[in-house]
Amino acid sequence: MSKEEQERIIIPDENGEEHLFEVLFKFDVDETGYSYITLTPVEQADEEEVEVYAFRYEEDEEETEESDFKLFPIESDEEWDIVEEMLYTLTEENDN
């Protein structure tokens, strides 16, 4: 996927400042029954090491032109372990 096709989202921080993120992966985990999204800040996109943020997300049920979803923090260590393992697997698959 080229950089132009990469999905991007804007997330406001606690101060109301908006930050642009690139979506790395979206995936569902049967063990938890949730969907997850991993993001990286756009300003770090060309750096060798980037910060990766992960959230649980839910799609908005309403039919709108833009796909809307809500982000939730990942709170349990078990959930983090599953997400990290999935991220590692997806990254390995993308590198090959």
Q: What per-residue confidence (pLDDT) applies to 2?
A: 43
CA pair distance 69, 4, nearest whole angstrom:
22
Q: Among 14-18, 26-30, 52-56, 63-67, which stretch is predicted with the lowest mean pLDDT?
A: 63-67
- Assign 36 to helix, strand or coil: strand
> What percentage of the chain carries pLDDT values higher than 70?
85
Q: What per-residue confidence (pLDDT) applies to 88?
A: 87
| Cβ density class 36-75: b for 16+ within 10 Å, e for less | bbbbbbbeeeeeeebebbbbbeeeeeeeeeeeeeeeeebe
Q: What per-residue confidence (pLDDT) applies to 3?
A: 47
- The pTM score is 0.78
CA pair distance 34, 45, nearest whole angstrom:
27
Q: What per-residue confidence (pLDDT) applies to 37?
A: 93
Q: What per-residue confidence (pLDDT) applies to 87?
A: 85
User: Is residue 27 very low, low, confident or very high in pLDDT (cuts 50, 70, 90)?
Assistant: very high
CA pair distance 17, 45, nearest whole angstrom:
19
